[in-house]
Structure 1
Amino acid sequence: MRLSDFIVQHLERIVDEWELFARSIAPHTESLNPLQLRAHARSILLAAARDMQTSQTASEQMAKARGEGPEKTPSLDRAAASHGEMRHNVGFDLVQMTSEFRHLRACVIRLWIASLESPDLASLQDMIRFNEAIDEAQAESTEAYAEQVNRSRDIFLAILGHDLRTPLQAVSMSTELLARKVALDAEALAYVSRIKSGSRHMTAMVGDLLEFVRSRLGSGLPIEPAPMDMASVAKAAMDEAYAGQPDCTPTLSLLGDSHGIWDRGRIEQMLQNLIGNALQHGGDSRAVTVTVTGGAEQVQVTIHNQGQPIPKEALNTLFDPLVRNASEELGGPPTSLGLGLFIVKEVVIAHQGSIEVSSNDIDGTTFTVILPRVSRAEPP
């Protein structure tokens, strides 16, 4: 009997074994009903049987083995993806879920081989096709499971970031009131200044975290463009970035008309992150130069610092989220979540602009942001 026919005829027996195995590895068996334990097994098996009955050339088989072939079994992919999502939702871990496919493969082949009187070449071909179908199903389930894990993590981070805002605001307000209402000596004022600087830094980190989660959950960075002056925002961003850095020497250069239609809050966030990055990775002088240049239809902003250049191999991932630079990986002070430049890029994209970076030993590091004078919010 061909393997596809065997699967159809013995479907219930195979699914029964699937359920028994799932029950043996389930994280909390008592709370799962038979329908949940047998989830999608029937659909996966029937889709695999249909796939085995379709013709497949040698070239198509080779392409499929490399993951390059077209989707020939969309019903199998849908059933497997749904299975991965459900297994995540009911508490299976990834190892438990993938072990179901290992057991299913072994169960079907064991029962089928036992039913054969004399296996032939067609039997070997059937086994190859069945393994292909199970591999495809396992890959789809794993991908769907991973997506659920990522979404759960992002939701958790969103809740965490949101809930951290309240205690941080309390710390910041209490520090302000303490400095205003109580006579403090120089040493106490220094402590207050450190608390204010620390709470400001943590607030920025929480803001970056929430923006990262927003993008991960599929919501683009919202902007509310309005007429503004890039020069005044650049000065405000520099003042904020240098508030806790009295020994630093910032320079702001203005060339041409710096007015345009952008989201002031987002632009200030972008500039603070870029200036903070330049301060963190600049040389001993920690001198940062911000230049705003107005053109006919766009405004260019450059942030320059000297210091150790960015390694060439790091340039391609510089704006990726949660990526640390080499000095931090080697034990340097962890000053951020690795989200600052990711947020910068998101702000630039939201304004239909562009950003580039150049870095070498002689010229230092320069980030160049170009924004059209008129940026429009994307329709919801």
Structure 2
Amino acid sequence: MQERNAQDAERFRLLVESVKDYAIFLLDVDGRVSSWNVGAERIKGYRADEIIGQHFSRFYPPETAGRCAEELEIAAREGRFEDEGWRVRKHGSRFWANAIISRILGRDGNLVGFAKVTRDLTHRRALDEERIARAALEQSLAEQKKIDELREQLIGIVGHDLRSPLSSVVVGAELMLKRGMLHDADAKVTARIARSAERMAKIISQLLDFTRSRLGGGMRVEPRETDLAEICAQVIAEVETVHPDRALSFEADSDVRGVWDRERLAQVVSNLVGNAIAHGKADGAVSVVLRDEGDSVTLFVHNEGPAIPAEVLPAIFEPFHRQARRTSRNNDGLGLGLFICRELVAAHGGEISVQSTDGAGTTFTVRLPRTA
């Protein structure tokens, strides 16, 4: 029987020593290491001859090493102690561990030492932290999306409700000017009111377009056979009326017709030309060029002046983005003009881009397939 017990004890010792995934070792009643297995060497980095006889507090970081005595007291009193926390390897690197300390009693019931089993859970902890972080990010994105939708709905409602009374202001001011019954000073004030109301109407129109784009699945267009040269000529004539001191040039190939939404493309051209006047050199020319490229037509709107800052370019077509150029004379807008241009061009199946340097100035390029 004794021989069999000895054989069982030897097999158990060999089993413990051969386990690689767990650090299994014994401590004496004072907490000094008295045995060491292969798993302990792999996880903690010490060979048996380096660690046996050393206190197990060596495996703890300085900020928690003082708890070792308390852990042994709990294990001695209650039979076991379990904890998760940071531990330190031989060369100073830390790992996240699950550790169980179990008391060992002799035949007489007295404490003779402790058995300690440690698992390296660093990888599992990293996965848990990644999962928690991903869940927090998804929740944050969902909340932000809800906030954005509510904001955009509010913008749409406010814009829609302001349009009617503002139209009354514009019509009333224009009617007073047409009658010609105002004194010069009153006529100037009324004209200023009309211009301001028109500017506000443009802003409201942009807000409504923005809301439709974000909440309605994109800009709606009603394509019909139209001539882009006629659209550009009409827009340029309107701009020249408002800015008689600015030099605008227009050049077009013979065939620049296509199936597009006339009003929407007029909006694109107006935004781009207005943008060129607002941000180009005060005495610089603005050119509009149309090119026939077979299955598509390309529009170029160019202005002279300092370049758009490089850090601004990547986001220039994003909503509520306002350009900041040294020559800018008009920052009254919401920063929706170029965003709306991009959305309207995309609704026609086209593309819009910009190139800007100090030497060459700024050119916006719109490529439109002949059929939207």
The interval holding the TM-score normalised by the smaller chain is 0.5 to 0.7
Give 1:286 shift: 4.7
The answer to which structure has the higher helix fraction is: 1
- Distance (Å, rounded) in 1 between the aligned partners of 2:238 and 2:165: 21
1:255-308: CA deviation from partner (whole Å, max 9, x where unpaired)? 221221100011001011001100101112253211122232221211111112
- Distance (Å, rounded) in 1 between the aligned partners of 2:127 and 2:288: 62
Map of 1:118 onto structure 2: 82
1:338 maps onto 2:318 in alignment: no
Map of 2:302 onto structure 1: 304
Q: Name the larger-Rg structure.
A: 2
- Distance (Å, rounded) in 1 between the aligned partners of 2:199 and 2:239: 10
- Distance (Å, rounded) in 2 between the aligned partners of 1:179 and 1:143: 52
What amino acid maps onto 2:354 in structure 1?
A: V
Map of 1:350 onto structure 2: 347
Give 1:336 shift: 0.9
Superposed, 1:16-55 pairs within 5 Å as none
TM-score, scaled to structure 2: 0.63
8 A contact 1:223–1:266 mirrored in 2: yes
- Distance (Å, rounded) in 2 between the aligned partners of 1:129 and 1:341: 43
- Distance (Å, rounded) in 1 between the aligned partners of 2:134 and 2:297: 50
3-state secondary structure, aligned to 2:82? coil
Give 1:238 shift: 1.8
Give 1:208 shift: 1.3
1:67-103: CA deviation from partner (whole Å, max 9, x where unpaired)? xxxxxxxxxxxxxxxxxxxxxxxxxxxxxxxxxxxxx
8 A contact 1:321–1:338 mirrored in 2: yes
- Distance (Å, rounded) in 2 between the aligned partners of 1:293 and 1:332: 30
Moved more, 145-154 or 236-245: 236-245
Of 242, 250, 253, the residue aligned with 1:252 is: 250
Moved more, 315-324 or 274-283: 315-324
- Distance (Å, rounded) in 2 between the aligned partners of 1:232 and 1:151: 38
Structure 2 stretches of 5 or more lacking a match? Answer: 1-79, 85-96, 100-119
TM-score, scaled to structure 1: 0.62
- Distance (Å, rounded) in 2 between the aligned partners of 1:132 and 1:355: 39
Moved more, 159-168 or 196-205: 196-205
Of 342, 352, 366, the residue aligned with 2:363 is: 366
Superposed, 1:1-380 pairs within 5 Å as 117-119=81-83, 121-122=97-98, 125=121, 133-327=131-325, 333-375=330-372
8 A contact 2:231–2:262 mirrored in 1: yes
8 A contact 1:256–1:295 mirrored in 2: no
- Distance (Å, rounded) in 2 between the aligned partners of 1:137 and 1:295: 49
8 A contact 1:229–1:259 mirrored in 2: yes
8 A contact 2:256–2:292 mirrored in 1: yes
Give 1:127 shift: 7.0
Aligned length: 259
3-state secondary structure, aligned to 1:137? helix
Give 1:135 shift: 3.6
Q: 1:187 to 1:291 in 2, by over 3 A?
A: farther
* Percentage of identical aligned residues: 35
- Distance (Å, rounded) in 2 between the aligned partners of 1:186 and 1:234: 34
The answer to which structure has the higher strand fraction is: 2
Structure 1 stretches of 5 or more lacking a match? Answer: 1-115, 376-380
Q: 1:166 to 1:131 in 2, by over 3 A?
A: same
Give 1:133 shift: 4.7
What amino acid maps onto 1:373 in structure 2?
A: R
- Distance (Å, rounded) in 1 between the aligned partners of 2:201 and 2:371: 30
3-state secondary structure, aligned to 1:313? coil
3-state secondary structure, aligned to 2:135? helix
- Distance (Å, rounded) in 2 between the aligned partners of 1:227 and 1:151: 36
8 A contact 1:318–1:341 mirrored in 2: yes
What amino acid maps onto 2:371 in structure 1?
A: V
Give 1:150 shift: 1.0
Give 1:156 shift: 0.8
8 A contact 1:240–1:272 mirrored in 2: no
Q: 1:293 to 1:186 in 2, by over 3 A?
A: farther
- Distance (Å, rounded) in 1 between the aligned partners of 2:128 and 2:196: 59
Give 1:246 shift: 2.5
- Distance (Å, rounded) in 2 between the aligned partners of 1:190 and 1:285: 26
Moved more, 125-134 or 230-239: 125-134
8 A contact 1:319–1:342 mirrored in 2: yes
- Distance (Å, rounded) in 1 between the aligned partners of 2:288 and 2:328: 29
Give 1:213 shift: 1.9
